[in-house]
């Protein structure tokens, strides 16, 4: 009798787990994600977790490495501050790799803010690698016109883009003298949180045979895998983990690796909460049956 009472009490207590107040969940998210971010700044040392680059990330890395030195890399920054947390570290680490490999690159974006963010990364890294604007890299800024524009750009870059972000005519930018069309672009790397990849596939890749690699947010990651399998994508970085994998291959610590602990904590919290919710549901059913 007593045992039944105790088990009833335990089951009743457990059943409460299926109705945890959302404010408690919000506070837990805030603490678990916030603590690993703040801790290093107040002198608390946190463990370093292992990171193994996936095949898709390694292919991305190799695609950048294999660009011939007489060709440029087009860095398409189709993201805004909403996905900056994921696309930002990806973009930064890839720009660092491009600079380390000594390749020239062009920044552009089908989103207004992306090219401005990438410009900030490039300016910061340019000091470290001795890159000069106009000679080693340039920025076309925000581009309108979607697929029609990309197609025109592939055909005749100077006819499609007259000036860079600052208003300097392309003819006055030294590195652009030998970059006339898609023939002179060795790789397009796109960073985005939305489904803009088909625009690049239909133009740069399908018509002009330019290699493509993408850094996307975790949420659209699964949608991009078919393009990887067909070879239309030469590499793929998915979410913050993709950025961390790239940093691992570059042997640097950036926004991706630093965010791995908070993200791990967030994922663990979700797993624990889902488990508790199911235990709660199971316990509630048991109580009902009795």
Partner 1 sequence: MFQPVENTILNIALMILSVLVSVVFLAVLHNVPPNLRMRVIMVITFIAGLYYPLEFFIPDGTALTPFRNRYLTPFLNPIGDAVAVMAAFTVGIGITNLCIVHARNISQRREGWGNSVVFFISMIIMFVVTLANRYAPNLFCTATAENMMTPVQAAFSVMFEGVYTALNATVFSLLAFFITSAAYRAFRIRTAEAALLMVGALIVMLGQVPVGMWLTHWIPDESIFRFLRFEVLSEWLLANINMPAQRGILFGVWVGALAMALRIWLSLERGGYFGRQF
> Which residues bind to partner 1, rule: CB under 8 A?
18, 20, 22, 25-26, 28-30, 33, 49-52, 54-55, 80-85, 113, 144-146, 148-149, 151-152, 154-156, 159-160, 181-183, 207-209, 218, 221-223, 225-226, 229, 238-239, 241, 244, 260-261, 263-271, 273-274, 276-278, 281
Count of residues making up the chain: 290
Q: What distance in Å separates the CA atoms of residue 285 and residue 290, rounded to the nearest whole number?
A: 9
Please report how close the Cβ of residue 237 comes to partner 1 at its closest, in angstroms: 12
* Cβ proximity to partner 1, 128 vs 183, nearer residue: 183
Question: What radius of gyration do the chain's Cα atoms show?
Answer: 24
What residues pair up with 133 in beta bridges, in sequence order? 137
What residues pair up with 182 in beta bridges, in sequence order? none
Please report how close the Cβ of residue 15 comes to partner 1 at its closest, in angstroms: 13
* Cβ proximity to partner 1, 98 vs 236, nearer residue: 236
Please report how close the Cβ of residue 163 comes to partner 1 at its closest, in angstroms: 13
Structure tokens at 186: 């060795």
Q: Assess contact for 283 and 14: CB atoms under 8 A.
A: yes
* Cβ proximity to partner 1, 36 vs 64, nearer residue: 36
Nearest one of 86, 121, 92 to 240, comparing CA atoms = 86
Please report how close the Cβ of residue 212 comes to partner 1 at its closest, in angstroms: 15
Q: How many angstroms from the chain centroid is the CA of residue 19?
A: 35
Q: Would you state the torsion angle of the CA atoms of residues 267, 214, 141, 175, taken in this order, to the nearest 10 degrees?
A: 140
* Cβ proximity to partner 1, 63 vs 221, nearer residue: 221
Please report how close the Cβ of residue 276 comes to partner 1 at its closest, in angstroms: 8
Backbone dihedral angles phi then psi of residue 21, each to the nearest 5 degrees: -60, 135
Please report how close the Cβ of residue 4 comes to partner 1 at its closest, in angstroms: 26
Q: What distance in Å separates the CA atoms of residue 117 and residue 120, rounded to the nearest whole number?
A: 5
Q: Assess contact for 98 and 131: CB atoms under 8 A.
A: no
* Cβ proximity to partner 1, 98 vs 119, nearer residue: 119
Edge-to-edge order in the sheet of strand 104-109: 137-142, 104-109, 72-78, 185-192, 211-216, 235-238
Q: What distance in Å separates the CA atoms of residue 31 and residue 242, rounded to the nearest whole number?
A: 24
Q: What distance in Å separates the CA atoms of residue 103 and residue 97, rounded to the nearest whole number?
A: 9
* Cβ proximity to partner 1, 67 vs 238, nearer residue: 238
Please report how close the Cβ of residue 99 comes to partner 1 at its closest, in angstroms: 22
* Cβ proximity to partner 1, 9 vs 285, nearer residue: 285
Please report how close the Cβ of residue 172 comes to partner 1 at its closest, in angstroms: 18
* Cβ proximity to partner 1, 100 vs 165, nearer residue: 165
Location of structure tokens 């000594």: 102
């Amino acid at each position: 009798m007593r045992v039944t009472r105790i088990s009833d009490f335990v089951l009743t207590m457990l059943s409460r787990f299926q109705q945890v107040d959302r404010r408690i969940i919000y506070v837990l998210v805030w603490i678990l994600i916030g603590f690993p971010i703040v801790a290093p700044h107040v002198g608390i040392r946190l463990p370093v977790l292992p990171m193994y680059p996936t095949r898709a990330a390694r292919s991305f890395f190799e695609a950048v490495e294999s660009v011939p030195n007489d060709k440029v890399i087009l860095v398409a920054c189709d993201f805004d501050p909403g996905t900056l947390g994921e696309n930002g570290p990806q973009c930064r680490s890839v720009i660092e790799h491009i600079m380390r490999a000594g390749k020239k690159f062009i920044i552009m974006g089908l989103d207004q803010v992306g090219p401005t963010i990438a410009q900030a990364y490039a300016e910061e890294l340019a000091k470290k690698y001795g890159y000069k604007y106009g000679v080693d890299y340039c920025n076309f800024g925000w581009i309108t016109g979607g697929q029609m524009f990309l197609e025109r750009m592939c055909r005749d870059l100077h006819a499609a883009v007259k000036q860079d972000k600052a208003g300097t005519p392309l003819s006055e930018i030294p590195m652009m003298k030998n970059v006339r069309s898609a023939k002179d672009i060795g790789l397009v790397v796109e960073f985005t949180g939305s489904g803009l990849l088909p625009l690049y596939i239909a133009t740069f890749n399908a018509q002009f045979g330019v290699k493509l690699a993408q850094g996307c947010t975790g949420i659209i990651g699964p949608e991009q895998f078919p393009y990887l399998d067909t070879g239309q994508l030469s590499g793929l970085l998915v979410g913050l983990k993709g950025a961390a994998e790239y940093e691992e291959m570059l042997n640097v610590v950036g926004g991706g690796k630093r965010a791995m602990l908070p993200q791990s904590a967030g994922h663990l919290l979700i797993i624990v909460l889902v488990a508790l919710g199911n235990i709660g549901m199971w316990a509630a059913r048991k109580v009902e049956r009795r």
